[in-house]
Amino acid sequence: MKRTMTSKERVLTTFANQAADRVPINYLANPGIHQRLLKHFKLQAGDDEGLKKALGVDFRGVVAPYMGPKLHPDLPGRQVNSAWGVRTRWIEHESGGYWDYCDFPLQEADEEAVAAWPMPSPDDFDYTSVLENCRRYEGYALSVGNPSLGDIINNNGFLRGMEQTLVDLVTDEPAGLLLAARKTKINLEVTRRTLEAAKGRIAFLWMGEDLGTQRSQIISRELYRKHIRPLHQQIIDLAKSYHLPVMIHCCGSSSWAFEDFIAMGINVVDTLQPEAKDMAPAYLKKTYGGRLAFHGCISTAGPVAFGSVADVEQYCRDTLKIMMPGGGYCFAPTHSLQDNSPTENVAAMYAMAASVGRY
Q: Which residue ranges make up each domain of the chain?
A: 7-72+112-356
Reported as a single tens digit per residue, the pLDDT across 125-158 is 999 999 999 999 999 999 999 999 999 999 999 9
Contact criterion met (CB below 8 Å) for 189 and 195: no
The whole-number average pLDDT for the span 339-352 is 98
Pairing outcome for strands 87-93 and 329-333: unpaired
The per-residue pLDDT for 94 is 86
Residue type, position 357, single letter: G
Q: Label residue 42 left, alpha or beta by phi (over 0 means left) and psi (-120 to 50 means alpha).
A: left
CA angle 179, 182, 185 (to 5 degrees): 145
Which residues share a beta bridge with 333?
A: 298
The whole-number average pLDDT for the span 14-32 is 97
Confidence of residue 290 (pLDDT cuts 50, 70, 90): very high
The whole-number average pLDDT for the span 70-86 is 97
CA atoms within 13 A on the CB side of 186: 16
The per-residue pLDDT for 97 is 87
Nearest Cα residue to 85 out of 189, 198, 182, 12 = 182
d(CA 261, CA 68) in angstroms, rounded, equals: 34
**pLDDT value at 96 more than 90:** no
Reported as a single tens digit per residue, the pLDDT across 184-213 is 999 999 999 999 999 999 999 999 999 999
CA atoms within 13 A on the CB side of 219: 24
The whole-number average pLDDT for the span 42-52 is 97
Beta strands in 240-288 (DSSP E): 246-250, 268-271
**pLDDT value at 2 more than 90:** no
Q: Was domain 7-72+112-356 assigned CATH 3.40.50.720?
A: no
**pLDDT value at 1 more than 80:** no
Count of Cβ atoms closer than 10 Å to residue 99 Cβ: 12
Buried residues in 201-237 as b, exposed as e (16+ CB within 10 A): bbbbbbbbbbbbeeeebbbeeebbeebbbebbeebbe
Beta strands in the chain (DSSP E): 59-62, 79-80, 87-93, 96-101, 141-145, 204-208, 246-250, 268-271, 293-298, 329-333
The per-residue pLDDT for 291 is 98
The per-residue pLDDT for 93 is 87
